Amino acid sequence: MSWVNEELDFSGRKLAALIDNSVADETRRWIESLADETLVRPAMISGPDNDLNLKNFANRLLTAAIDAVVFLTAAGVAQFFQRSSRVVAAARLIDSLQDIQTVTVGD
């Protein structure tokens, strides 16, 4: 992932990421190296704790508490929108994403 580090500069910014569970530890360390403040959440873990984490992630998007978001898995993004839409309108999430830097990586 070193080629990405050269192109992305999140210094001094708040960065959030939804990551692929299969490489969570390695990816978390990489994301945390990109910015001063990070919020990294696994994209597709089920259960009450992760539902709370996803709700927190969505609320941070809505309130502009983050400056940029990185999505590392298309399936995780789809599940994030599906599960978050239970508590937040998908249109509001999309509007919020349009107001911040959004980076997608992967399929």
- For residues 60-71, average pLDDT: 86
Lookup result for tokens 């309108």: 89
pLDDT at residue 39 tops 70: yes
Q: Taking all residues of the chain, what is their mean pLDDT, rounded to a whole number?
A: 76
DSSP state letter for 107:
-
Q: In 70-97, which positions are buried (b, 16+ CB within 10 angstroms) versus exposed (e)?
A: bbbbeebbebbeebbeeebeeeebeebe
Give the CA diameter of the chain: 37
Q: How confident is the model at residue 5 (pLDDT cuts 50, 70, 90)?
A: very low
Q: Nearest to residue 18, comparing CAs of 93, 94, 100, 73?
A: 73
Task: Give per-residue pLDDT as tens, 85-97.
Answer: 888 888 998 899 8
- For residues 41-63, average pLDDT: 72
Between residues 95 and 47, which one has the greater pLDDT? 95
